[in-house]
A and B are shown apart, each in its own frame.
Chain A
Amino acid sequence: MAKITFITTDNKTINLEGTSGSVMQLAVDNGVPGIDGDCGGVCSCATCHVHVAPEHVGKTGEASEIEEDMLDLNDYSNERSRLCCQLEISDALNGLVLQVAESD
Protein backbone atom coordinates (compact mmCIF):
# COMPACT_ATOMS: atom_id res chain seq x y z
CA MET A 1 0.00 0.00 0.00
CA ALA A 2 1.32 3.42 -0.95
CA LYS A 3 -0.12 6.87 -0.30
CA ILE A 4 0.63 9.15 -3.21
CA THR A 5 -0.13 12.87 -3.40
CA PHE A 6 -0.67 14.79 -6.64
CA ILE A 7 -0.47 18.57 -6.77
CA THR A 8 -2.29 19.83 -9.84
CA THR A 9 -1.23 22.76 -12.03
CA ASP A 10 -3.75 24.98 -10.24
CA ASN A 11 -2.28 23.89 -6.88
CA LYS A 12 -5.00 21.55 -5.68
CA THR A 13 -3.84 18.60 -3.58
CA ILE A 14 -5.23 15.13 -4.34
CA ASN A 15 -4.36 12.27 -1.97
CA LEU A 16 -4.69 8.74 -3.34
CA GLU A 17 -3.84 5.21 -2.24
CA GLY A 18 -2.78 2.34 -4.43
CA THR A 19 -1.44 -1.18 -4.13
CA SER A 20 -0.42 -2.16 -7.65
CA GLY A 21 -0.26 -1.02 -11.26
CA SER A 22 1.31 2.19 -12.46
CA VAL A 23 1.08 5.61 -10.85
CA MET A 24 -0.39 6.90 -14.13
CA GLN A 25 -3.24 4.37 -13.95
CA LEU A 26 -3.99 5.38 -10.34
CA ALA A 27 -4.16 9.02 -11.40
CA VAL A 28 -6.32 8.35 -14.48
CA ASP A 29 -8.72 6.08 -12.54
CA ASN A 30 -9.21 8.90 -10.05
CA GLY A 31 -9.46 11.69 -12.60
CA VAL A 32 -6.36 13.68 -11.64
CA PRO A 33 -6.48 16.69 -14.02
CA GLY A 34 -3.49 16.89 -16.34
CA ILE A 35 -2.69 13.17 -16.26
CA ASP A 36 -4.33 11.78 -19.38
CA GLY A 37 -2.34 8.61 -20.02
CA ASP A 38 -3.29 8.64 -23.71
CA CYS A 39 -1.04 5.75 -24.74
CA GLY A 40 -2.08 3.54 -21.84
CA GLY A 41 1.40 3.57 -20.32
CA VAL A 42 3.79 2.42 -23.06
CA CYS A 43 5.95 5.56 -22.91
CA SER A 44 4.77 7.03 -26.21
CA CYS A 45 2.62 10.05 -25.38
CA ALA A 46 4.11 11.98 -22.41
CA THR A 47 0.62 12.89 -21.14
CA CYS A 48 1.59 11.50 -17.71
CA HIS A 49 4.40 13.94 -17.01
CA VAL A 50 5.08 14.83 -13.35
CA HIS A 51 7.79 16.54 -11.32
CA VAL A 52 8.91 14.56 -8.29
CA ALA A 53 9.21 16.58 -5.07
CA PRO A 54 12.95 17.23 -4.48
CA GLU A 55 13.03 15.27 -1.21
CA HIS A 56 11.48 12.19 -2.90
CA VAL A 57 13.73 11.76 -5.89
CA GLY A 58 15.38 8.85 -4.06
CA LYS A 59 12.06 6.94 -3.87
CA THR A 60 11.40 6.95 -7.60
CA GLY A 61 14.91 6.30 -8.88
CA GLU A 62 16.07 7.30 -12.34
CA ALA A 63 14.31 7.34 -15.67
CA SER A 64 15.35 4.81 -18.31
CA GLU A 65 17.11 6.05 -21.42
CA ILE A 66 13.95 5.75 -23.49
CA GLU A 67 11.96 7.76 -20.95
CA GLU A 68 14.80 10.27 -20.71
CA ASP A 69 14.72 10.77 -24.49
CA MET A 70 11.01 11.56 -24.35
CA LEU A 71 11.53 14.08 -21.54
CA ASP A 72 14.51 15.74 -23.23
CA LEU A 73 12.25 17.22 -25.88
CA ASN A 74 9.51 18.32 -23.51
CA ASP A 75 9.23 22.09 -23.04
CA TYR A 76 8.18 21.73 -19.41
CA SER A 77 10.64 19.12 -18.18
CA ASN A 78 13.34 19.58 -15.56
CA GLU A 79 15.80 17.29 -13.74
CA ARG A 80 12.97 16.00 -11.50
CA SER A 81 10.68 15.04 -14.40
CA ARG A 82 9.23 11.56 -14.77
CA LEU A 83 6.60 9.90 -16.94
CA CYS A 84 4.53 8.38 -14.16
CA CYS A 85 3.34 5.43 -16.28
CA GLN A 86 6.87 4.18 -15.75
CA LEU A 87 6.50 4.24 -11.92
CA GLU A 88 5.19 0.94 -10.52
CA ILE A 89 3.23 1.33 -7.29
CA SER A 90 4.84 -0.43 -4.32
CA ASP A 91 5.43 0.22 -0.61
CA ALA A 92 8.63 2.00 -1.60
CA LEU A 93 6.57 4.88 -3.06
CA ASN A 94 4.60 5.49 0.15
CA GLY A 95 4.40 9.20 0.89
CA LEU A 96 5.44 10.27 -2.61
CA VAL A 97 4.47 13.80 -3.68
CA LEU A 98 4.17 14.55 -7.41
CA GLN A 99 3.55 17.88 -9.08
CA VAL A 100 1.56 17.48 -12.30
CA ALA A 101 3.61 19.11 -15.08
CA GLU A 102 2.26 21.79 -17.35
CA SER A 103 1.56 21.01 -20.99
CA ASP A 104 0.51 22.86 -24.15
Chain B
Amino acid sequence: MKKSALPDPFEEARVNKGYGEMDDQNDPVTMILGLKDLRKCAHNWKTFQSGAEPGRIVIPSEVNIRDTRQIPFEVDPPEHKDFRALVEPWFKRPLEADYKAALTQQINDIVDEVLTKDSVEVVGEFSLRLQSRALTLLLNIPYEESETWISWGTHVFRSEGEALDGDKANILYDYIDERISKAIENPGSDLYSMLLAATVNGKKLTREEVKGVMILTFAGGRDTVINAVTNSIAYFAEHPESLDKLLGDPDITGKAVEELIRYFSPLTQMGRVATEDTQVCEYAIKEDTRISLCWASANRDAKVFENPNDVVLDRKINPHVAFGFSHHNCLGATHARQIMNILLTTLAKKVKSIDIIDYKENIEELGEFKRKVGYDNLTVKFHTR
Protein backbone atom coordinates (compact mmCIF):
# COMPACT_ATOMS: atom_id res chain seq x y z
CA MET B 1 0.00 0.00 0.00
CA LYS B 2 1.37 3.38 -0.98
CA LYS B 3 1.79 5.88 1.84
CA SER B 4 -0.39 8.38 0.01
CA ALA B 5 -3.24 5.94 -0.66
CA LEU B 6 -6.62 6.43 1.02
CA PRO B 7 -8.27 3.00 1.06
CA ASP B 8 -12.04 2.62 0.82
CA PRO B 9 -13.28 0.87 3.99
CA PHE B 10 -16.92 0.94 2.90
CA GLU B 11 -16.84 -1.23 -0.23
CA GLU B 12 -18.12 -4.49 1.18
CA ALA B 13 -20.98 -2.92 3.13
CA ARG B 14 -21.89 -0.69 0.20
CA VAL B 15 -22.05 -3.60 -2.24
CA ASN B 16 -23.77 -6.08 0.09
CA LYS B 17 -26.34 -3.96 1.88
CA GLY B 18 -25.95 -0.31 0.92
CA TYR B 19 -25.71 1.03 4.46
CA GLY B 20 -23.48 0.88 7.50
CA GLU B 21 -24.07 1.46 11.19
CA MET B 22 -22.22 3.32 13.88
CA ASP B 23 -23.02 4.45 17.36
CA ASP B 24 -22.19 7.97 18.46
CA GLN B 25 -22.89 8.99 22.05
CA ASN B 26 -26.01 6.74 22.18
CA ASP B 27 -27.51 8.43 19.13
CA PRO B 28 -26.81 5.80 16.45
CA VAL B 29 -26.31 6.62 12.80
CA THR B 30 -27.34 4.66 9.69
CA MET B 31 -24.71 5.54 7.08
CA ILE B 32 -25.94 5.74 3.48
CA LEU B 33 -23.12 4.39 1.33
CA GLY B 34 -24.18 4.26 -2.36
CA LEU B 35 -24.09 7.32 -4.61
CA LYS B 36 -27.66 7.08 -5.91
CA ASP B 37 -29.24 6.47 -2.50
CA LEU B 38 -27.17 9.25 -1.00
CA ARG B 39 -28.24 11.76 -3.64
CA LYS B 40 -31.91 10.88 -3.11
CA CYS B 41 -31.64 11.34 0.65
CA ALA B 42 -29.67 14.59 0.32
CA HIS B 43 -32.32 15.95 -2.01
CA ASN B 44 -35.21 14.90 0.23
CA TRP B 45 -34.90 17.54 2.95
CA LYS B 46 -38.47 17.07 4.11
CA THR B 47 -37.81 13.53 5.31
CA PHE B 48 -34.13 14.01 6.16
CA GLN B 49 -33.75 17.37 7.81
CA SER B 50 -30.74 19.53 8.64
CA GLY B 51 -32.69 21.87 10.89
CA ALA B 52 -32.75 19.49 13.87
CA GLU B 53 -31.42 20.29 17.33
CA PRO B 54 -28.19 22.32 16.81
CA GLY B 55 -25.15 20.04 16.61
CA ARG B 56 -27.09 16.84 16.01
CA ILE B 57 -26.38 16.46 12.28
CA VAL B 58 -22.64 16.67 12.93
CA ILE B 59 -20.92 13.36 13.61
CA PRO B 60 -19.59 13.16 16.30
CA SER B 61 -22.63 14.95 17.65
CA GLU B 62 -22.11 18.39 19.16
CA VAL B 63 -25.43 18.73 20.99
CA ASN B 64 -23.62 18.75 24.32
CA ILE B 65 -21.10 21.44 23.44
CA ARG B 66 -23.09 24.12 21.64
CA ASP B 67 -26.51 25.77 21.26
CA THR B 68 -25.76 28.15 18.41
CA ARG B 69 -27.48 27.12 15.20
CA GLN B 70 -25.05 27.10 12.26
CA ILE B 71 -26.38 29.04 9.32
CA PRO B 72 -27.18 28.05 6.54
CA PHE B 73 -25.98 24.58 7.47
CA GLU B 74 -28.64 23.73 10.09
CA VAL B 75 -31.57 25.42 8.38
CA ASP B 76 -33.97 23.77 5.89
CA PRO B 77 -35.82 25.25 2.94
CA PRO B 78 -37.55 27.64 2.52
CA GLU B 79 -35.54 29.77 5.04
CA HIS B 80 -32.35 28.08 3.86
CA LYS B 81 -32.75 29.59 0.40
CA ASP B 82 -32.92 33.15 1.75
CA PHE B 83 -29.76 32.75 3.81
CA ARG B 84 -27.93 31.17 0.89
CA ALA B 85 -29.02 33.95 -1.45
CA LEU B 86 -27.58 36.45 1.03
CA VAL B 87 -24.14 34.87 1.38
CA GLU B 88 -23.64 33.25 -2.03
CA PRO B 89 -22.33 36.31 -3.94
CA TRP B 90 -19.77 36.83 -1.18
CA PHE B 91 -18.57 33.22 -1.41
CA LYS B 92 -18.18 33.57 -5.19
CA ARG B 93 -15.55 36.31 -4.77
CA PRO B 94 -12.70 33.79 -5.23
CA LEU B 95 -13.49 33.95 -8.97
CA GLU B 96 -12.51 37.65 -9.12
CA ALA B 97 -9.13 38.55 -10.64
CA ASP B 98 -7.84 40.46 -7.57
CA TYR B 99 -8.69 37.63 -5.22
CA LYS B 100 -7.01 35.11 -7.50
CA ALA B 101 -3.90 37.28 -7.78
CA ALA B 102 -3.64 37.68 -3.99
CA LEU B 103 -4.13 33.96 -3.41
CA THR B 104 -1.54 33.13 -6.07
CA GLN B 105 0.95 35.42 -4.31
CA GLN B 106 0.30 33.73 -0.94
CA ILE B 107 0.74 30.24 -2.36
CA ASN B 108 3.84 31.20 -4.34
CA ASP B 109 5.42 32.62 -1.19
CA ILE B 110 4.76 29.59 0.99
CA VAL B 111 5.94 27.14 -1.67
CA ASP B 112 9.13 29.19 -2.16
CA GLU B 113 9.66 29.14 1.58
CA VAL B 114 9.28 25.38 2.06
CA LEU B 115 11.61 24.76 -0.89
CA THR B 116 14.46 26.30 1.13
CA LYS B 117 14.00 23.98 4.14
CA ASP B 118 15.62 20.64 4.90
CA SER B 119 12.38 19.23 6.21
CA VAL B 120 8.83 20.48 6.57
CA GLU B 121 6.00 19.16 8.75
CA VAL B 122 3.28 19.67 6.17
CA VAL B 123 0.15 19.80 8.38
CA GLY B 124 1.38 22.51 10.76
CA GLU B 125 4.00 24.34 8.70
CA PHE B 126 2.35 24.30 5.31
CA SER B 127 -1.35 23.39 5.17
CA LEU B 128 -2.52 25.19 8.32
CA ARG B 129 -0.64 28.34 7.37
CA LEU B 130 -1.80 28.25 3.77
CA GLN B 131 -5.41 27.66 4.85
CA SER B 132 -5.39 30.39 7.51
CA ARG B 133 -3.83 33.01 5.22
CA ALA B 134 -6.26 32.18 2.42
CA LEU B 135 -9.19 32.58 4.83
CA THR B 136 -8.24 36.24 5.38
CA LEU B 137 -9.10 36.77 1.70
CA LEU B 138 -12.45 35.05 2.05
CA LEU B 139 -13.33 37.16 5.10
CA ASN B 140 -11.73 40.26 3.54
CA ILE B 141 -9.72 41.12 6.64
CA PRO B 142 -6.00 41.93 7.13
CA TYR B 143 -3.49 39.17 6.42
CA GLU B 144 -1.95 39.55 9.91
CA GLU B 145 -5.09 38.11 11.47
CA SER B 146 -4.04 34.69 10.19
CA GLU B 147 -1.24 34.68 12.81
CA THR B 148 -3.88 34.33 15.53
CA TRP B 149 -5.60 31.41 13.82
CA ILE B 150 -2.30 29.68 13.14
CA SER B 151 -1.40 30.00 16.82
CA TRP B 152 -4.51 27.98 17.74
CA GLY B 153 -2.87 24.96 16.10
CA THR B 154 -4.68 22.40 14.01
CA HIS B 155 -7.05 21.20 16.68
CA VAL B 156 -9.08 24.24 17.52
CA PHE B 157 -11.95 22.16 18.85
CA ARG B 158 -10.18 19.43 20.71
CA SER B 159 -7.36 18.68 23.08
CA GLU B 160 -4.92 15.89 22.35
CA GLY B 161 -6.70 12.55 22.61
CA GLU B 162 -10.14 13.99 23.19
CA ALA B 163 -12.75 13.93 20.47
CA LEU B 164 -14.68 16.97 21.56
CA ASP B 165 -13.55 19.67 23.89
CA GLY B 166 -16.04 22.34 24.91
CA ASP B 167 -13.39 24.60 26.47
CA LYS B 168 -11.30 24.61 23.35
CA ALA B 169 -14.28 25.31 21.13
CA ASN B 170 -14.87 28.35 23.36
CA ILE B 171 -11.61 29.90 22.18
CA LEU B 172 -13.13 30.17 18.73
CA TYR B 173 -16.57 31.24 19.99
CA ASP B 174 -15.10 33.96 22.23
CA TYR B 175 -12.86 35.17 19.45
CA ILE B 176 -15.80 35.48 17.06
CA ASP B 177 -17.90 37.28 19.69
CA GLU B 178 -15.14 39.80 20.15
CA ARG B 179 -14.75 40.33 16.39
CA ILE B 180 -18.48 40.85 15.98
CA SER B 181 -18.42 43.51 18.71
CA LYS B 182 -15.54 45.23 16.96
CA ALA B 183 -17.37 45.17 13.62
CA ILE B 184 -20.47 46.68 15.27
CA GLU B 185 -18.40 49.55 16.70
CA ASN B 186 -16.37 50.02 13.59
CA PRO B 187 -17.97 48.62 10.42
CA GLY B 188 -15.67 47.83 7.50
CA SER B 189 -15.77 45.88 4.25
CA ASP B 190 -15.32 42.47 5.86
CA LEU B 191 -17.72 39.53 6.08
CA TYR B 192 -18.74 40.34 9.68
CA SER B 193 -19.80 43.85 8.68
CA MET B 194 -21.60 42.64 5.57
CA LEU B 195 -23.62 40.18 7.65
CA LEU B 196 -24.35 42.71 10.39
CA ALA B 197 -25.77 45.12 7.82
CA ALA B 198 -27.79 42.48 5.97
CA THR B 199 -31.49 41.77 6.06
CA VAL B 200 -33.20 38.48 5.25
CA ASN B 201 -36.95 38.61 4.60
CA GLY B 202 -37.06 42.21 5.77
CA LYS B 203 -35.46 41.34 9.11
CA LYS B 204 -31.93 42.21 10.18
CA LEU B 205 -29.78 39.21 11.04
CA THR B 206 -29.50 38.81 14.78
CA ARG B 207 -26.12 38.75 16.48
CA GLU B 208 -26.63 35.04 17.12
CA GLU B 209 -27.29 34.42 13.43
CA VAL B 210 -24.17 36.33 12.39
CA LYS B 211 -22.23 34.25 14.88
CA GLY B 212 -23.71 31.08 13.38
CA VAL B 213 -22.51 31.96 9.89
CA MET B 214 -19.04 32.96 11.08
CA ILE B 215 -18.44 29.87 13.21
CA LEU B 216 -19.48 27.73 10.30
CA THR B 217 -17.10 29.54 7.97
CA PHE B 218 -14.24 28.82 10.36
CA ALA B 219 -15.26 25.25 11.16
CA GLY B 220 -16.25 24.05 7.70
CA GLY B 221 -13.24 25.51 5.96
CA ARG B 222 -10.48 24.43 8.33
CA ASP B 223 -9.87 20.67 8.56
CA THR B 224 -11.35 20.11 5.10
CA VAL B 225 -8.86 22.39 3.37
CA ILE B 226 -5.98 21.26 5.59
CA ASN B 227 -6.67 17.64 4.68
CA ALA B 228 -7.06 18.40 0.97
CA VAL B 229 -3.74 20.27 0.87
CA THR B 230 -1.80 17.78 3.01
CA ASN B 231 -3.12 14.78 1.08
CA SER B 232 -2.16 16.47 -2.19
CA ILE B 233 1.44 16.81 -1.01
CA ALA B 234 1.52 13.12 -0.06
CA TYR B 235 0.03 12.17 -3.42
CA PHE B 236 2.57 14.20 -5.41
CA ALA B 237 5.41 12.81 -3.30
CA GLU B 238 4.57 9.37 -4.63
CA HIS B 239 3.49 10.56 -8.08
CA PRO B 240 6.10 13.05 -9.34
CA GLU B 241 5.04 12.15 -12.89
CA SER B 242 1.72 13.87 -12.12
CA LEU B 243 3.59 17.14 -11.48
CA ASP B 244 5.19 16.79 -14.91
CA LYS B 245 1.83 16.03 -16.47
CA LEU B 246 0.26 19.14 -14.94
CA LEU B 247 3.19 21.27 -16.10
CA GLY B 248 2.99 19.93 -19.64
CA ASP B 249 -0.78 20.04 -19.92
CA PRO B 250 -2.14 22.75 -17.62
CA ASP B 251 -5.59 22.44 -19.20
CA ILE B 252 -6.24 19.35 -17.10
CA THR B 253 -5.71 21.23 -13.81
CA GLY B 254 -9.44 21.75 -13.20
CA LYS B 255 -10.15 18.07 -13.73
CA ALA B 256 -7.24 17.11 -11.50
CA VAL B 257 -8.65 19.26 -8.69
CA GLU B 258 -12.04 17.53 -8.91
CA GLU B 259 -10.42 14.10 -9.03
CA LEU B 260 -8.18 14.69 -6.01
CA ILE B 261 -11.11 16.06 -4.04
CA ARG B 262 -13.21 13.03 -5.01
CA TYR B 263 -10.44 10.68 -3.98
CA PHE B 264 -9.64 12.47 -0.71
CA SER B 265 -13.25 13.31 0.22
CA PRO B 266 -12.00 15.54 3.06
CA LEU B 267 -15.42 15.53 4.70
CA THR B 268 -16.32 11.88 5.30
CA GLN B 269 -19.99 12.27 6.09
CA MET B 270 -22.68 14.60 7.37
CA GLY B 271 -25.85 13.64 9.22
CA ARG B 272 -29.57 14.27 8.82
CA VAL B 273 -32.47 13.55 11.19
CA ALA B 274 -35.49 11.60 9.90
CA THR B 275 -38.79 13.47 10.35
CA GLU B 276 -40.93 10.36 9.75
CA ASP B 277 -40.65 6.57 9.60
CA THR B 278 -39.16 5.73 6.22
CA GLN B 279 -36.86 3.36 4.31
CA VAL B 280 -33.53 3.54 2.55
CA CYS B 281 -32.33 0.51 0.54
CA GLU B 282 -35.16 -1.50 2.07
CA TYR B 283 -33.88 -0.75 5.52
CA ALA B 284 -36.27 0.88 7.98
CA ILE B 285 -35.34 4.31 9.33
CA LYS B 286 -37.34 5.41 12.37
CA GLU B 287 -38.60 8.91 12.97
CA ASP B 288 -36.19 11.05 15.04
CA THR B 289 -33.16 8.84 14.33
CA ARG B 290 -30.09 9.85 12.35
CA ILE B 291 -28.78 8.89 8.94
CA SER B 292 -25.52 10.07 7.46
CA LEU B 293 -24.71 10.97 3.90
CA CYS B 294 -21.37 9.26 3.52
CA TRP B 295 -19.71 11.30 0.77
CA ALA B 296 -16.47 9.36 1.06
CA SER B 297 -18.18 6.04 0.34
CA ALA B 298 -20.38 7.34 -2.48
CA ASN B 299 -17.28 8.74 -4.17
CA ARG B 300 -15.88 5.20 -4.55
CA ASP B 301 -19.11 3.67 -5.89
CA ALA B 302 -18.05 1.37 -8.75
CA LYS B 303 -21.52 1.61 -10.26
CA VAL B 304 -20.64 5.17 -11.22
CA PHE B 305 -16.84 5.53 -11.20
CA GLU B 306 -14.56 3.33 -13.27
CA ASN B 307 -11.51 2.28 -11.25
CA PRO B 308 -12.83 4.19 -8.26
CA ASN B 309 -9.76 3.54 -6.12
CA ASP B 310 -7.32 5.05 -8.64
CA VAL B 311 -6.52 8.71 -9.01
CA VAL B 312 -7.20 9.34 -12.71
CA LEU B 313 -5.90 12.89 -12.95
CA ASP B 314 -7.84 13.82 -16.09
CA ARG B 315 -11.06 11.91 -15.29
CA LYS B 316 -13.59 13.43 -17.67
CA ILE B 317 -16.90 12.48 -16.11
CA ASN B 318 -16.68 12.77 -12.38
CA PRO B 319 -20.06 13.23 -10.69
CA HIS B 320 -18.58 13.18 -7.19
CA VAL B 321 -20.29 14.45 -4.05
CA ALA B 322 -17.21 15.54 -2.09
CA PHE B 323 -18.74 19.04 -1.83
CA GLY B 324 -22.15 17.61 -0.96
CA PHE B 325 -25.26 17.47 -3.08
CA SER B 326 -28.41 19.53 -3.49
CA HIS B 327 -29.49 22.34 -1.17
CA HIS B 328 -26.61 22.28 1.29
CA ASN B 329 -23.79 21.82 -1.19
CA CYS B 330 -20.60 23.42 -0.01
CA LEU B 331 -20.68 27.18 0.20
CA GLY B 332 -16.89 27.31 0.42
CA ALA B 333 -16.34 25.20 -2.69
CA THR B 334 -15.35 28.14 -4.91
CA HIS B 335 -12.67 29.15 -2.40
CA ALA B 336 -11.50 25.56 -1.88
CA ARG B 337 -11.33 24.88 -5.63
CA GLN B 338 -9.38 28.08 -6.22
CA ILE B 339 -6.88 27.13 -3.50
CA MET B 340 -6.41 23.67 -5.00
CA ASN B 341 -6.17 24.97 -8.55
CA ILE B 342 -3.45 27.50 -7.70
CA LEU B 343 -1.66 25.00 -5.46
CA LEU B 344 -1.45 22.41 -8.25
CA THR B 345 -0.28 25.00 -10.79
CA THR B 346 2.35 26.36 -8.41
CA LEU B 347 3.67 22.95 -7.33
CA ALA B 348 3.92 21.82 -10.97
CA LYS B 349 5.94 24.92 -11.86
CA LYS B 350 8.31 24.97 -8.91
CA VAL B 351 8.61 21.47 -7.48
CA LYS B 352 10.43 18.56 -9.10
CA SER B 353 9.86 15.98 -6.41
CA ILE B 354 8.97 15.49 -2.76
CA ASP B 355 10.40 12.91 -0.33
CA ILE B 356 8.29 11.60 2.54
CA ILE B 357 10.47 11.43 5.65
CA ASP B 358 7.94 10.52 8.32
CA TYR B 359 4.17 10.43 8.80
CA LYS B 360 1.33 9.46 11.09
CA GLU B 361 -2.05 8.71 9.57
CA ASN B 362 -5.27 10.22 10.87
CA ILE B 363 -7.77 7.37 11.07
CA GLU B 364 -11.42 8.06 11.85
CA GLU B 365 -13.20 5.38 13.88
CA LEU B 366 -16.70 5.07 12.48
CA GLY B 367 -18.34 2.08 14.16
CA GLU B 368 -17.59 -0.95 11.99
CA PHE B 369 -15.38 1.18 9.72
CA LYS B 370 -11.98 2.79 10.06
CA ARG B 371 -11.27 5.48 7.49
CA LYS B 372 -8.00 7.25 6.79
CA VAL B 373 -8.92 10.87 6.14
CA GLY B 374 -5.43 12.36 6.12
CA TYR B 375 -2.42 12.74 8.41
CA ASP B 376 -1.83 13.92 11.96
CA ASN B 377 1.61 14.79 10.71
CA LEU B 378 3.56 14.40 7.49
CA THR B 379 7.22 15.37 7.28
CA VAL B 380 8.71 15.84 3.82
CA LYS B 381 11.57 17.41 1.88
CA PHE B 382 10.64 19.47 -1.22
CA HIS B 383 13.06 19.52 -4.19
CA THR B 384 13.19 22.46 -6.61
CA ARG B 385 12.50 21.91 -10.29
Query: B-contacting residues of A (Cβ < 8 Å)?
Result: 38-45, 64, 66, 69-70, 73, 104
Chain B contacts of A73 at CB under 8 A? 39-40, 43, 325-326
Query: Smallest Cβ distance from A87 to chain B, in angstroms?
Result: 13
Q: Does B318 contact A42, Cβ atoms closer than 8 Å? A: yes
Q: Is B56 an interface residue (CB 8 A)?
A: no
Q: Which stretch (B99-107, B155-163, B192-200, B250-258) binds chain A?
A: B250-258
Inter-subunit contact B317/A104 (CB<8 Å): no
**9 interchain pairs, CB-CB under 8 A:** A39-B318, A40-B254, A42-B255, A42-B258, A42-B319, A43-B317, A44-B320, A45-B329, A69-B36
Are A66 and B319 in contact, with the CB atoms below 8 A? Answer: yes
A45: chain B residues at CB < 8 Å are 323, 329
Is B87 at the interface (CB under 8 A from chain A)? no
What per-residue 1/0 map shows which CB atoms of B63-81 lie under 8 Å from chain A? 0000000000000010001
Cβ of B204 within 8 Å of any chain A Cβ, yes or no, is no
CB distance from B70 to the nearest CB of A (A): 19
Q: Which residues of B contact A69 (CB under 8 A)?
A: 36, 39, 319
- Known A38-B333, A38-B337, A39-B258; judge A44-B84 contact (CB<8 A): no
* In the assembled complex, B334 has its CB within 8 A of some CB on chain A: yes
Partner of A40, one of B258, B320, B325: B258
B325-341 contact mask (Cβ, 8 Å, vs A): 1 or 0: 11101000110010000
For A41, A42, A45, A69, the residue with the greatest tally of chain B CB atoms inside 10 Å of its CB is A42
Q: How far is the CA of A61 from the CA of B254 in the complex (A)?
A: 26
Assembly CA distance A61 to B272 (angstroms): 38
Given contact pairs A66-B317, A104-B81, A44 touches B39 in the complex (Cβ within 8 A):
no
> A41 to B254, Cβ gap below 8 A?
yes
B84 partner residues in chain A, CB cutoff 8 A: 104
B337, A42: Cβ atoms under 8 Å? no
Q: Please indicate the chain A residues that have their CB under 8 angstroms from the CB of B326 in the complex.
A: 73
Given A43-B318, A104-B81, the answer on whether A38 and B334 have CB atoms closer than 8 Å is: yes
- Bound together, the chains give a CA A46 to CA B80 distance in angstroms of 19
Q: A41-B254, A44-B320 are in contact. Are A66 and B334 (CB under 8 A)?
A: no
Which residues of B have CB within 8 Å of A43? 317-319
Asked whether any CB of chain A lies closer than 8 Å to the CB of B360, the reply is: no
Report whether B319 and A70 are in contact in the complex, using a CB–CB cutoff of 8 Å: yes
Q: Give the CA-CA distance A5 to B263 in the complex, in Å.
A: 37
The CA-CA distance from A38 to B254 in the complex, in Å, is 10
- Besides A40-B255, A43-B317, A73-B326, 7 new A-B residue pairs in contact (Cβ under 8 A), listed by A number: A42-B258, A42-B319, A44-B321, A44-B323, A66-B317, A69-B319, A104-B77
Contact pattern, B 37-48, Cβ under 8 Å of A = 1, otherwise 0: 001100100000
**A42 and B317 contact, Cβ closer than 8 Å, known pairs A69-B36, A73-B43:** yes
With contact pairs A66-B304, A104-B84 given, residues A44 and B40 touching in the complex (Cβ less than 8 Å): no
Q: Among residues 233 to 281 in chain B, which have CB atoms less than 8 Å away from a CB atom of chain A?
A: 254-255, 257-258
The CA-CA distance from A41 to B318 in the complex, in Å, is 9
Compute how far the CA of A104 lies from the CA of B45 in the bound complex, rounded to whole angstroms.
14
B301 CB to nearest A CB, Å: 11
| Chain B residues closer than 8 Å to A70, beta-carbon distance | 319
Distance between Cα atoms of A64 and B318 in the complex (Å):
13
